[in-house]
Structure 1
Amino acid sequence: MKLKVLSLLAVVIFTLPAYAAKVRGSRVGANGKSAGFFVEAFSSTGRVLYKSIKLDEQGKFEIDFISAEPLVYWIDNYPVFVKPNDDLQIILPEKKNGIFVIGGDNQQQTVSTPAEKGTSKVQLLGSSTSNNLLINDVNTAWANFNKDKKGLQTTDEINKQYANGIKIISISKDVDLNNFANFYNDMRYLEAKLQYVRANSNDQQSKSFFELLNKISLNNPAVTSLKSIGLRALVTNYYAFLRLSQDAKITDDDLSDNGSIGKMEYLLKNVSNERVINEELNQSIIYHLSIKGWNPELDKIMVAAVEKTTDASAKKNLIDLREKYSKVSKNSVAPEFSIPDAAGKMVKLSDFKGKVVAIDVWATWCIPCMHSLPYFLKLRDKYKDNANVVFMSISTDNANSKTKWLDFLKEKNMNSVDLHAGDKNASAFEKAYNITGIPRYILIDKTGKIIEDHAPQASEPEFESLIQTALQAK
C-alpha cells in the first residue's frame, strides 16, 4: 500500500509543470494607490497570458507564469524576453502623463524620470543569463531614430539605423533571444523602408531595396510574440512590401485594403504560422464581410480558411459567418422587415412588391452618412414621379435619439419613406441584413431579390446606374 502511495506521488510530482518563470519588479515613485498595468504574452496558439497587475504599497509587483518556451512578456507595453525558469527583477520608470509611440505595433512607453536620471528606460536588476530587455532596446533605438528624422529619412540613414540595430544585438550571446531581436530589427527596417516609399512614391526602387524579403518571413516563430495590433501591422506591411517588389503601386487598393482578396490568398498559399492564419486571416475575412459583404470570390477563401484554421472557436465563427452573410447577398431573396415611420406606422418591405427599392441605412450621429445623404435625397427627388422605384431611408439612431431623428426629418423636409430602426421592435432589421457599419446602401429589385447588399454610395454614379438597370428589367 505504501509503495502505491509513493508511486502515485512520484507521478504527480513529475507531471507538475517545471517551467515557472518569475518576474518581480517595482515602479519608481509608485505606491498602492498608483495605477497598475497589464501584462500579456503570446505564442503560436495566440494570447497565453493576460493579467491585470496591481502595485503594493511600495509600488512592487510580481508575475508568475508557467511556460516551457521563451516568451516575450509585454509588461506595461515594454517587451521583456523571458525564458523558462527565469527569475527577473525589473524597475519600471515613473509614470507621467506624456507618452510617445515606439515602432509599428504602436507600443507606448511612458515619458518618465526613473531612478536613472535623464532616461525613460525600463531597467533590469541583478544578473541574468541574457539581456532580457534587448528587444526593447532595439525598439527604442528605432523609435528615437523615427522621432529625430520625423519621417524624412534617406535610404542611407535607414540602412545605417538597421546596422545600428545589428550592432546592439551583437553584444548578446543568447541564440534564442538574438533570433527574436533580429526579427524585430528586420520588422522595423521593413516599416522604415515602406514609410520611405510612401513619402517618395514616384521614385523607382532597385531590386536591392527589397532584399530584406529574403530575410524576413511571416512564418518566423518570433512573429507570434507580437501583440495583436503589431501582428496586424506586420502582415499588412509585409504584403505591401512584397507587392511593391513585384511592381505594384503604393496607391493600389490591394495594398491599402485591410480585407484585400490578394492578401488573403497570399496568406492561404504561403503562410503556415498558426496565429497568423487563426487571427489575421480571420480578421481580414471579417473586415471584408463588413465592408463589401459576401461574394463567390470571398467564399472560396472562406472555405479554404475553415480548412486551414486550427483554432476551434475561430473555425466555428467562420462557418457561422459564411452561412449568415451568404443568405443576405446578391441574388438572394431580401429578408422581410417591418419598421415604423415618423408617425409610428409600421412599414413592410413587402408593401413595395413590384418596385425597385433603394435603401440608405444611416444615423444622425454618423458624419460619413451626413456627407452621403444629400446625394441620396437628390436622387429621391429626381425619381419622385417614377412609381416603379422607392427611395427608403432607414435610421439606426437608438431610442434615446429618436427625437433628434424626428427634428432632422423636419429640418431637411424629409417626408417620404423614412423609417426608424433604432427601437427594439425594429432592431431585427440590422440583424437580418448584417448591418455592421454605416452608411450602408442596399438595392432590391422588383421581384424582391437583392441586387447589391453592399451597394456603392449614393454619391457614386454606379449607384444610379444599378437603379436604372433594375428599372429596365422585365
Structure 2
Amino acid sequence: MRGIILLVFICLIFLSSCEERKVVSIIIEGNSSDYDSLYIVDIYSGQTLLKMPLEPIGKEYKFQIQETSLGEIAIKGLESTYLTVLRPEAKKIVVIDSNTIRVEQSIADSLANYLWKSTNLMFSQHDKVIFAEDDPWKVRGLFDSLVQVREDQLMHFESQLTEEELGLLTFQNKARAYSFLMFYGRIIKEISPEDGFFGFVKDIENENIYTKSLPNTLLYKYEIELLSERDSIENLGIFLDYIEKNTKTEDLQHFLKAVYLKEVIENPSYWRPHEKLFTSTTIKEALLQESKNPYAFLIDRASSSFFSSQSGVKGFDFKANRFDGSEIKLSDFKGKIVVIDTWATWCGPCIQHRPNMLEIAKKYENNPRVAILMISIDQSKEKWLNYVQKTNPDQFGMELHIPDGMNTEFGDMYLIKSIPKYFLIDQNGIILNSDLLEPSIGMEQLIENELKKFPG
C-alpha cells in the first residue's frame, strides 16, 4: 500500500513538473505609455492567453501553453503590436513606450517580427511590379529571393535559437511568402492550378507541426491540388473530405476544417472558387457536421456574424460617435435609405475609393430620404479627425467614428473582417446588401431603385 501511495506521489510531482515546464512568464520592465492593460493573443484563433496590467513594473505573470507557437502582444487602443514566439519555459521581458511594444533579449521574437515586416516591406517597395505589371514570374522571383535572404538570416542566428524556435521561424519564412503567392496567383491573376507558377506547392508539407501558425498556406495548397484534379468544387463536403484525406494528424484535420469554414465566411474574396457554396443553408449544414469539432469555437463567432449580416435581416442598431463625441444610432435613420462605408485612414483601398464615396455623398446631400454614413474604425480619434478635415472640408455625408470598430460588437454583427466594406439598409432598418461593390454608378443605381419604392 505504501508503495502505491509513493508511486502516486511521484507521479503527481512529475505531472506538476511537466505543467511548470509548459509555463511562459511575462514581465513588464519599462512602460512610458498611458494605457493600462496588455494582452497576449494566440496569433490565429484570437484567443486571449493572458491579460495583465501594465503597472506595477517588474511583476511576473504566467500562463500555460501546450507547444511552441506564435502569439501577438497587443495593447487595446495602441495600433502597434509585436509578434512573440511562445515557448514553454520562456521568460519575456516587455518594454512599452508611447507608440511601440518590444521584447528585449529575444532573438526569436526579433526574427519573427523581421519575417512579418519584411513581407510588408516587399509590398511597399515593389507594389508596381506586384500589382501593376502583368508578369507573375517576376513576382514569383521577388518572393523566392526574399525567402532565400530571410533563410540566410535565420541560419546566421541558428546557434542562438532552440530547435523549436528555428522550426517555427523556418516555417513562417516560407509560409508567409507562399501564402501571398498563392493568393496572388489564385485570385489576383487567376492562374490555372496546373500552371508551373504554382510549382512551389510541392514544398509545402501536409504535416508540419507549425502549420497552425499560418494555416491558410496549406489550405490554399489543397485548393490548388484539388482544382488540378477537377474543374470545380461543387460543394463544401468535397473540400472538407479532401482535407481529411490529405491530413493524417487528426488534430490538424479538425483545425484545418474549422479554419476553412471560418475563413470562407469571413473573407470570401480570398476564396472565390468556394464563394457561391456558402449560403445560409450550407453553413447550417456545415455547422451541424462540425458540431463536435474541438475547434468549433473558431466557426461559431464567424457564423453568428454571417447570419446577423445577411440580406433580409434587421441591421444591428450600432452606436457611433460624431465629431463632438455625441452618439448616433442606426435607428435614428429610420425612414431613410442608409449607405454605410466602413473605412480607416490606414486602409489603402479605402483611401483609394474615398473620392468616389464623397461624390455619392455630395449627390444625395440634400435628399432627406438618403443617409450616407462613413464610419471610420480607426483606433485614434485624432487621426480620423485630421484626415476627415483634410479630405471632406464641406462635410458631405455623415462622418462617424467607432474606435477599433473591427473588434467591437459593430464589427462582429456586420462581419467586418476586412475593409472597405459597404452596406445598403432600407427605410425599415433591413439589410438589403451587406457586400456592396466599391462606390460607383452601380451603387447609385441601387440607391435609385430603392428610392422608387417610396410613395409619391
Shorter-chain TM-score: what band?
0.5 to 0.7
Cα distance change on mapping 1:441 and 1:5 into 2, 3 Å: same
Separation in 1, partners of 2:153, 2:404: 46
Please give the secondary structure, in 1, of the residue aligned with 2:416. Answer: coil
Which residues in structure 2 correspond to 1:290-329 (within 5 Å)?
Answer: 290-292=266-268, 297=279, 300-301=282-283, 303-305=285-287, 307-308=289-290, 310-312=292-294, 314-329=295-310
**Cross-structure match for 2:447:** 467
Residue 376 of structure 2 corresponds to: 395
Checking the alignment, whether the CA contact within 8 Å between 1:443 and 1:452 is kept in structure 2 is yes
CA contact (8 A) 2:338 2:425 kept: yes
1:175-186 maps to which residues of 2 (within 5 A)?
Answer: none
Could you tell me which residue of structure 2 aligns to residue 279 of structure 1?
255
Q: Which one-letter code corresponds to 1:225 in the other structure?
A: I
Deviation, structure 1 residue 393:
1.2
Cα distance in 2, alignment partners of residues 225 and 113 from structure 1: 20
The residue correspondences of 1:188-267 to structure 2 (distance < 5 A) are 223=207, 225-229=209-213, 231-247=215-231, 264-267=236-239
Where does residue 269 of structure 1 map in the other structure? 241
Q: Does the Cα contact within 8 Å between 1:332 and 1:449 map onto a contact in 2?
A: yes
Q: Conserved in 2, the CA contact under 8 Å of 1:224 and 1:275? A: no
Unaligned runs of at least 5 residues, structure 1: 22-46, 56-74, 78-97, 115-119, 123-131, 144-150, 152-186, 249-260
Structure 2 distance, partners of 1:455, 1:414, is: 23
Distance 1:226 1:339, change over 3 A: closer
5+ long unaligned stretches in structure 2: 19-64, 69-86, 92-106, 110-117, 120-141, 270-274
Match of residue 99 from structure 2: none
How much does 1:349 deviate?
2.3
Q: Deviations over 1:388-413 (max 9, x none)?
A: 322221122333434414523554x3
CA contact (8 A) 2:365 2:396 kept: no
Q: Which amino acid aligns with 2:67?
A: L
Partner residue in 2 for 1:36: none
CA distance in 1, matches of 2:448, 2:411: 26
User: What amino acid sits opposite 1:374 in the alignment?
Assistant: P
Distance 1:423 1:352 in 2: 23
Give 1:270's aligned amino acid. Y
**Contact 1:359/1:443 (8 A) holds in 2:** yes
Pick one of 413, 419, 435 that aligns with 1:454: 435
- After superposition, what is the alpha-carbon deviation per residue over 1:285-305, rounded to whole angstroms, capped at 9, x for unaligned? 333333359996265245424
Please say which of residues 462-471 and 362-371 is displaced more in the overlay.
462-471
2:287, 2:425 → 1: CA distance?
Answer: 30
C-alpha distance in structure 2 between counterparts of 1:340 and 1:14, whole Å: 58
Task: Show the counterpart of 1:6.
Answer: 3
2:300 aligned counterpart, secondary structure: helix
Asked if the contact 1:383–1:389 (Cα under 8 Å) also holds between the matched residues in 2, the reply is yes
Once the two structures are aligned, what percentage of the paired residues are identical? Answer: 20
TM-score w.r.t. length of structure 1: 0.51
Give 3-state SS (helix, strand or coil) of 2:267's partner. helix
Kindly indicate whether the alpha-carbon contact (under 8 Å) linking 2:193 and 2:227 is maintained by their aligned counterparts in 1: no
Conservation of the 8 A alpha-carbon contact between 2:436 and 2:443: yes
Question: For residues 274-294 of structure 1, what are the alpha-carbon distances to aligned partners after superposition, in whole Å with 9 as ceiling and x for unaligned?
Answer: 334432232233333333599
Quote the offset at 1:369 in angstroms.
0.8
Spell out the pairing of 1:142-181 with structure 2 (5 A cutoff): none
* Structure with higher helix content: 2
Aligned to 1:408: 390
Asked if structure 1 preserves the Cα contact closer than 8 Å seen for 2:344 and 2:377, the reply is: yes
Contact 1:223 1:231 in 2 (8 A): no
Cα separation, 1, equivalents of 2:190 and 2:370: 48
Cα RMSD (Å)? 5.5
